[in-house]
Amino acid sequence: MLSQIALLIRKDFVIDWRLKHPFTGILLYIASTIYTVYLSFDAVVTPAVWSSLFWIILLFIATTALAKSFIQEERRHLYYYFTIKPNILILSKLIYSFIYLSSIGLFGLLIYIVLIGQPEFSLGLFLANFFNGVLGLSVAFTMIASLAVHTAQKGNMMAILGFPVILPILLLTISNSRRIVEGGVWEEISSFSLILTSVNVIIVVLTLILFPYSWKS
């Protein structure tokens, strides 16, 4: 099982490495978006605005970056159907989406700090919340992409199905992030962090339960 998951993750890395333009296009997209934000603010933004803007940018990037996770697999659908168990396939997609979005998010965070500046806060605590939030976004969008691929309007369905799932994750992540950049400590965000982690676990479990049925349809 682990070897199959590793091979599927490696396959996704190879595909993205050979194509190159989707990944580099997303990096250019996030860099240009952050630069536009930089040009829009003459003065230093407040910590709360700094945090909210970053996560809003990352949300739109995630929508674009992770929509392809199952759309690019349409031609391999029958091959996977007869050779790989659905839970192995979805686990590999969840792991790869997390790595993919984390890489893009860290690149965006670096550009964001260079251009917009950085309030005084605990970077370690911010990164812990960052990876927790990225996990939630990557898991949710991967689950949604697995459902939207069976519809005619895949892009529209990503947005329609995604909003109710992403909203609680985004609210919890932004709330924690705002407290951190305003100088908060772990005790102030621990309860929301545990809730966010619980939401992530619930979505993963639901994905593992529901994906085999949608895959067979």
* Tens digit of each residue's pLDDT (9 = 90 or more) over 121-135: 788 888 999 999 999
Q: Kindly tell me the number of DSSP H helices and DSSP E strands found in the chain.
A: 9, 0
* Tens digit of each residue's pLDDT (9 = 90 or more) over 76-114: 554 555 567 778 888 888 888 899 889 999 999 999 988
Read off the tokens for 161.
């199905």
Eight-class DSSP state of 74? G
Number of separate domains in the chain: 1
CA 129 to chain centroid, in Å, comes to 13
The pTM of the full predicted model, rounded to 2 decimals, is 0.85
Alpha helix ranges (H) inside 67-122:
68-71, 77-83, 86-116
> Exposed (0-12), middle (13-18) or buried (19+): which is 64, by Cβ within 10 Å?
middle
Report the distance separating Cα 203 and Cα 156, nearest Å: 21
Residue range of the domain that includes 193 = 2-216
Residue written as tokens 């536009």?
Answer: 36
Eight-class DSSP state of 149? T
- The mean per-residue pLDDT over the stretch 170-195 comes to 85
* Tens digit of each residue's pLDDT (9 = 90 or more) over 49-85: 888 889 988 888 887 777 666 666 655 554 555 567 7
Cα dihedral 66, 135, 210, 142, rounded to 10, equals 0
Residue written as tokens 């593992």?
Answer: 208
| Contact between residue 87 and residue 211 where contact means Cβ atoms under 8 Å apart | yes
For residue 193, CA distances in Å to 44, 103, 155, 173, 197 come to 28, 21, 30, 8, 6
* Tens digit of each residue's pLDDT (9 = 90 or more) over 7-45: 777 877 877 777 666 778 788 888 888 888 888 876 667
- The string of DSSP letters for 179-206 reads HHHTT--HHHHHHHHHHHHHHHHHHHHH
| Contact between residue 107 and residue 27 where contact means Cβ atoms under 8 Å apart | yes
Eight-class DSSP state of 73? T
